[in-house]
Chain A
């Protein structure tokens, strides 16, 4: 089954404790991206990757890192989480940028 898998689905952490949210897709998509969803703000892109070893900043990259060492995986790293990063995060992939996007089920992160 074609899917994008994110883990964990829910995470509560403390300020400053490094965390990683994993994302994996099984569709051989070249393009992957991370979004955060906040009430009234819709989806905002954090980072995206056009292909392996190619990543770039989206609209709200501050406080986040990503890596794309292999095609299927695109982890999101918060080196020092802060409360303003409390949000719902989505990973998405597509064959190319602008094509139909497939989304993971989301990770609800709370930073206290």
Chain B
């Protein structure tokens, strides 16, 4: 079946460091891919998405590229801030039934 695997957290970085959070998936066909972010005490909100191979989603300085050949959708940011501290979820939308499949989430901690 379809699945999403994220790197385990927490990931702890210093402010202005480069961020990568790995996400790989298993799916048939061509799913849509998403990154959601959950700030402390809040619900999840969409950060970025990509709907086809080689698409790059971007928002708030974050980027992720849909790599069909490596079945990956890694989240990157060039210079993180303390305000980026949150839990990040990778997800895919199955092409056949559109069900959202979630990764386990990666907690990101940014220290000043």
Task: State whether B89 touches A42 (Cβ < 8 A).
Answer: yes
With A and B bound together, what is the CA distance between A104 and B45 in angstroms?
A: 9
Task: State whether B102 touches A98 (Cβ < 8 A).
Answer: no
In A1-53, which residues have CB < 8 Å from any B CB?
A: 4, 37, 40-45
Chain B interface category by residue count: 20 to 34
A-side interface residues, number (CB < 8 Å): 21
Per-residue 0/1 for B72-112: is the Cβ within 8 Å of any A Cβ (1 yes, 0 no)?
A: 00000000000000000100011001111011110000000
Contacts of B94 in A (CB 8 A): 98
Q: How far is the CB of A80 from chain B (nearest CB, A)?
A: 27
A106 at the interface (CB under 8 A from B): yes
Task: State whether B44 touches A90 (Cβ < 8 A).
Answer: yes
Task: State whether B43 touches A42 (Cβ < 8 A).
Answer: no
Contacts of A97 in B (CB 8 A): 93, 97-100
B69 at the interface (CB under 8 A from A): no
Contacts of B44 in A (CB 8 A): 43, 90, 92, 101, 103
B104's partner among A42, A96, A104 (CB-CB below 8 A) is A42
With A and B bound together, what is the CA distance between A4 and B46 in angstroms?
A: 14
A42-B103 in contact given A100-B46, A101-B46, A103-B44 (Cβ < 8 Å):
yes
Task: State whether B43 touches A43 (Cβ < 8 A).
Answer: no
A43-B32 in contact given A98-B94, A106-B42 (Cβ < 8 Å):
no
Chain B's closest residue to A91 (CB) is B43
A82 at the interface (CB under 8 A from B): no
Task: State whether A103 touches B43 (Cβ < 8 A).
Answer: yes
Contacts of A4 in B (CB 8 A): 43
Q: Can you offer 9 A-B residue contacts whose CB atoms are under 8 A?
A: A37-B105, A41-B104, A43-B89, A43-B102, A90-B43, A92-B44, A96-B98, A97-B100, A105-B43
